[in-house]
Amino acid sequence: MKPLLVLSSALILSAGASAQVMGGNGLPNPNYANLWAWYDASDGVNGPGQPIDGASVTSWQDSSVQGHSLVRVDVNASEQPVFRATAVNGLPAIEFDGNDYIWGDNSSEFGTISSGKTIFVVSEVDTANIDGYIFDSSSGAGRNALFTGTLAIAGAWQIWTGTSLVGGTVPVVRDQFQVHSVVLDSGNQEHFVDGTSIYSDTQSISDLSGFILGSRYTVANFLIGHIAEVLVYDEVLLAADRQAIEDYLDAKYINIVPPAPTLAAQNLVGGSLATLSLSNCTPLGGGLIAYSLAGGGPINTPWGPAFISAPYSQLPPLTIDPLGDASISINVPLRAAGRTVWLHALDQASGTLTNPLMEVIG
């Protein structure tokens, strides 16, 4: 199986949270009253501790004090998830290969949550995955689900609130680690990726009736990927508490400095159409590109030194796409051939200047 995408997802569905979500040791507080369930592949797969690498997963213990363990899998071992000891940043995760799932029922095992919910999931999505479910209710009696697409809208993050689809506009990024947070409340839903909102809506919500990982409740639409950790809260966490859980998961599984906003130029040739592109910027934010034929500065700006000299010109503002990219095409005058141009850009949402460029126009 190829390397997969790791996501940390949070689904939020009501109002009110309190202060002891995190413990004094920097970990989620297992005794917090509204922590409904906590599944960590580092401890609790097939019992306390860890099984051997490659072992079939038949249960996943709840690390909270609630006892809402996932104890049901397919009777066929080939359709059970597999434990991988070093799947994510040297830590374990549960592998789903497209026909696996693990669940707890809506009564004595996982139970039913009728109040608001906040659900965090650390997971990876493989390139081969099409419309797999990260999680769903295990019963059609009441459903909340996070999944990676439908036949109609493939490869885009979507949520089922129990009454409506939300999302479907932002593509699933594969083969890299991410932290997802999705907030659902009655009349207010919003999905964040790495702390940035990617879509919102105003639908109603249903109960979470049981819980299944790696599949739709009908045992279909299987995930191809990994799941490393899940936290389920039966309330809507305050933004600060949600961010604290995200920070914990990010530090544990990702702990990678994100790449800096980057400016690149292609085909800077006199009499031709050149392309200036931005990457690694804040999704759905704005970008500015300025250029000068007078020199490389620097000049002082509120965001630090810009390596262009006056006089300089600014290109039309850019809108960054959901993947953090944007580009603009410009006509390069024929008479500019042989001249040197200095360029610098700004990721407006983060207030971060890109790398400067000095290019000789061909």
For 53-80, write each residue's pLDDT tens digit. 999 999 999 999 999 999 999 999 999 9
Cα angle 191, 197, 199 (rounded to 5 degrees) comes to: 60
In SS3 terms, 279-324 reads as ECCCCCCEEEEEEECCCCCCEEECCEEECCCCCCEECCCEECCCCC
Class of domain 7-254: mainly beta
pLDDT at 99: 96
Q: Which of the 8 DSSP states describes residue 240?
A: H
Number of helical H runs and strand E runs in the chain: 1, 29
pLDDT at 257: 60
Give the CA diameter of the chain.
77
Residues 6 or more apart in contact with residue 238 via CB below 8 angstroms? 17, 18
| Region 87-112 average pLDDT | 96
Tokens of 307: 């390596």
pLDDT at 149: 92
**Inter-CA distances, 217 with 69, 143, 165, 171, 303, Å:** 17, 8, 16, 23, 49
C-alpha radius of gyration, the chain, whole number: 23
| Region 157-178 average pLDDT | 90
CB 222 within 8 A of CB 215: yes
**Inter-CA distances, 163 with 43, 166, 180, 201, 205, Å:** 35, 10, 22, 12, 6
| Domain chopping of the chain, boundaries | 7-254, 262-360
Tokens of 293: 């034929």
Tokens of 3: 């390397």
CB 223 within 8 A of CB 93: no
Tokens of 263: 């400016």
**Tokens 């990219």, residue located:** 325
| Region 37-51 average pLDDT | 97
Which of 137-141, 146-150, 190-194, 274-278 is predicted with the least confidence, judged by mean pLDDT?
Answer: 190-194
**Inter-CA distances, 138 with 119, 187, 219, 232, Å:** 15, 24, 9, 15
pLDDT at 62: 98
pLDDT at 197: 84
CA proximity to 11, closest of 206, 233, 247: 233
Residue 228: helix, strand or coil by DSSP?
A: strand
- Helix residue ranges, H only, 6-45: none
pLDDT at 11: 46
CA proximity to 193, closest of 129, 125, 131: 125
pLDDT at 194: 76
The answer regarding whether domain 262-360 maps to CATH 2.60.40 reads yes
Burial of residue 25 (number of CB atoms within 10 Å: 0-12, 13-18, 19+): exposed
**Tokens 């639908």, residue located:** 203
Q: What average pLDDT does the chain have?
A: 90
**Inter-CA distances, 207 with 120, 121, 161, 266, Å:** 17, 18, 9, 52
Rounded to whole angstroms, how far apart are CA atoms 205 and 335?
61
Rounded to whole angstroms, how far apart are CA atoms 223 and 126?
8
CB 128 within 8 A of CB 12: no
For residue 72, give the H/E element and its range. strand 72-73
Which of 5-9, 209-213, 239-243, 294-298 is predicted with the least confidence, judged by mean pLDDT?
Answer: 5-9
Query: What global pTM score does this model have?
Result: 0.69
Cα of first residue to Cα of last residue in the chain, in angstroms, is: 45
